[in-house]
């Protein structure tokens, strides 16, 4: 699964918490905020990576879901 997030660095709310696709995962998800902050800090326009769900599901597996993500940042100046 690949998801792409397009955002403006001037957005003061980083809505970058993606829902986990694991059916039995309740509080899981993917928080891309640290990745975006690093890109902004380094003035990079895009980045990509992989992330695994931060929560464990009922079976205790922490690797039940993962995503590949791409981040694209538009700088206004």
Which DSSP helix (H) or strand (E) runs through 66? strand 66-73
Closest CB 5 distance from Zn ion, rounded Å: 18
Indicate which single residue of 28, 32, 36, 67 sits in contact with Zn ion (rule: CB under 5 A).
28
Q: Is 25 in the site for Zn ion (CB under 5 A)?
A: yes
Q: Is 71 in the site for Zn ion (CB under 5 A)?
A: no
Checking phi first, is residue 43 left (phi over 0); if not, alpha (psi -120 to 50) or beta?
left
- Footprint on this chain of Zn ion (rule: CB under 5 A): 20, 22, 25, 28, 53, 55, 65
């Amino acid at each position: 699964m690949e998801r792409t997030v397009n955002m403006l660095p001037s957005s003061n709310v980083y809505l970058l918490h993606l829902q986990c696709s694991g059916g039995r995962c309740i509080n899981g998800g993917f928080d891309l905020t640290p990745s975006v902050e690093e890109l902004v800090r380094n003035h990079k326009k895009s980045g990509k990576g992989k992330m695994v769900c931060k929560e464990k599901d009922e079976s205790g597996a922490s690797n039940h879901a993962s995503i590949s993500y791409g981040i694209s940042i538009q700088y206004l100046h």
